[in-house]
Amino acid sequence: MAVLPKTGNYSQLLSYRKAEIIYDLTFRFCERFLGKRDRTVDQMIQAARSGKQNIAEGSKASKTSTETEIKLTNVARASLEELLIDYQDYLRTRGHILWEKDSKEALYTRKLGKQPKESYETYREFADTRPAETVANIAICLVHQANYLLDRQLQRLEQDFLENGGIRERMTRERLRRRNRSSE
């Protein structure tokens, strides 16, 4: 039994890859549609960055601390929720339409999000050519997808912790197992 699990490969997590797209899209959105002096620019970019970075940091911390992994994954989830609200505020305060969950535009965006090689390139043309209302709605769809993935990830982490415990419990079990084996 391994005391330290093989974990930490955050780049393979769908939640991380989605968060990376959200960060790139948010950076481009702020660059195109918000003034450089607008405080919202820093807040949106930092919320998007925090979502991405905390997934990576939590994944790397998982080797020695399930608790830290859960906490950082939850911070990522909270950061993306903050970003979601910023995009919704942007649309609302400018009188733009927020796409309905099952609108043809939202369904198309969700379909793009299911591509196996999905990356920022999947959305670059939209980010570079579409109006702010469209790009904000695409970002909202992506944040909803990332949040769904993070919610599932948090449920899995909780279940794994309840079944396997943290590092101290695994170390204790392994020590006891080895003692019992050597005393036979």
pLDDT, tens only, 13-42: 999 999 999 999 999 999 999 998 889 999
Please tell me the chain's helix, strand, coil percentages from 3-state DSSP, rounded to the nearest 5. 75, 0, 25
How far is residue 154 from each of residues 63, 102, 147, 150, 169, measured CA to CA in Å?
A: 16, 26, 10, 6, 20
Domain assignment of residue 1, yes or no: no
Domain span at 96: 12-182
Cα(26)–Cα(22) distance, integer angstroms: 6
**Pair 73, 153: CB distance under 8 Å:** yes
Domain assignment of residue 47, yes or no: yes
Is the pLDDT higher at 108 or at 174? 108
Domain assignment of residue 2, yes or no: no
**Pair 170, 62: CB distance under 8 Å:** no
E strand or H helix at 91, and its extent? helix 66-93
37-80: per-residue pLDDT in tens? 889 999 999 999 999 999 999 988 877 778 889 999 999 999 99
Domain assignment of residue 52, yes or no: yes
Whether residue 3 is predicted with pLDDT greater than 50 in this model: the reply is: no
Global pTM reads: 0.86
Cα(17)–Cα(129) distance, integer angstroms: 23
Domain assignment of residue 112, yes or no: yes
Domain assignment of residue 101, yes or no: yes
The DSSP call for residue 65 is -
Count structural domains, the chain: 1
Domain assignment of residue 4, yes or no: no
Domain assignment of residue 5, yes or no: no
pLDDT value, residue 122: 97
